[in-house]
Amino acid sequence: MKLNNFEVYVQADGENLPEYQVKLEQGSKTTTCFIPSQSGKKFEIRWKSSINEEATVQCRIDGRHMGSSMTQRHGSSSRFGVRVSPTQRLPYVFSDLVLVDDENVMIDNSVLSKLGTIEVIVTRAIRLPSNNSAINWHPHVPNNIGPLHEKSKKVGGHCVSLGKPVTCAPDPRSRSKPLYPGEGHWAKFVFQYRPQALLRAQGIAEPSNNTQVSQLPKLKRPRSPSLPLPKPELSTNTRSSSTASDSHRPSKKVKREFIDLTLVKDEEPPRLLDPSLHGTVIDLTLDDD
């Protein structure tokens, strides 16, 4: 998505995830869309700045703070997880929600209301000088979302967890402050993630053409010799007139009249469709990788 000369997108396996129903909200400072999620898949948040100032980029996932970065003017960067040491990060992973039938299970309302969302908040900022002194390391590692009550399945069935530690390049920590304190955020991007099958079922994402073709049944042309021909039926009017004439005609004329009726062949017998096509349901809810 693009907003106010800033672009943010989500990648998995090096490919940008498709964005559905992109729309602008709250004036011109917030934009939203839907993206597909796949359980067990790692993802990365990437962005590119075209503004003339430095900016902080804060990532909030499922209502939890998941890291912040400082971005140079006209620069680009990314975030794939939460840093837990100078050389280690816990990657973002789409995961299945664990649901239980237990009303005693509690979860922070701020997390529950934001479940299924990836928020990227951009604020124009000024980098503060470090005075050549090391900044103390205070890692903030949010807890993974635990079991939820069954009511929560309405959000889509997925959440974001933190995976096993992976090695990353060291990155010096820095401090900043807003360039214009009263401005608030410069741009806000909200990605609402759902399983691909759910997005299709809700009409948010359309099935791909490949999926439609692969699910179509193979049509077979019916062989006409093997199909029984329908017997011609006499109309009510014809039968009544024939009955009336029978009382005044000899039996041999009735035979000739019957032959005349059966020789009518102007109408072509109706073609029967292949019975295997009757009631066929095309499954469009496969998952698309």
In the chain, what are the domain boundaries? 2-128+136-205, 231-268
| pLDDT-flagged residues of the chain (< 70) | 105-110, 131-137, 151-155, 208-289
User: How many angstroms separate the CA atoms of 89 and 36, rounded?
Assistant: 24
> Do the beta carbons of residue 93 and residue 41 sit within 8 Å?
yes
Statement: the pTM of the whole predicted model exceeds 0.75: no
User: How many angstroms separate the CA atoms of 213 and 243, rounded?
Assistant: 57
Give whole-number Cα distances, 81 to 95, 117, 158, 248, 287, in Å.
Answer: 14, 15, 17, 100, 26
Identify the pLDDT of residue 65.
92
CB-facing half-sphere around the CA of 229: CA atoms within 13 A: 8
> Do the beta carbons of residue 185 and residue 29 sit within 8 Å?
yes
What secondary structure letter does DSSP report for 69?
E
Identify the pLDDT of residue 41.
96
Identify the pLDDT of residue 283.
37
Identify the pLDDT of residue 213.
33
- 262-284 pLDDT, tens digit each: 444 444 444 444 444 344 333 33
User: How many angstroms separate the CA atoms of 181 and 241, rounded?
Assistant: 99
DSSP string, 187-244: EEEEEEEEEHHHHHHTTSSPPPHHHHHHHSPPP----GGGSPPPPP---HHHHHHHHH
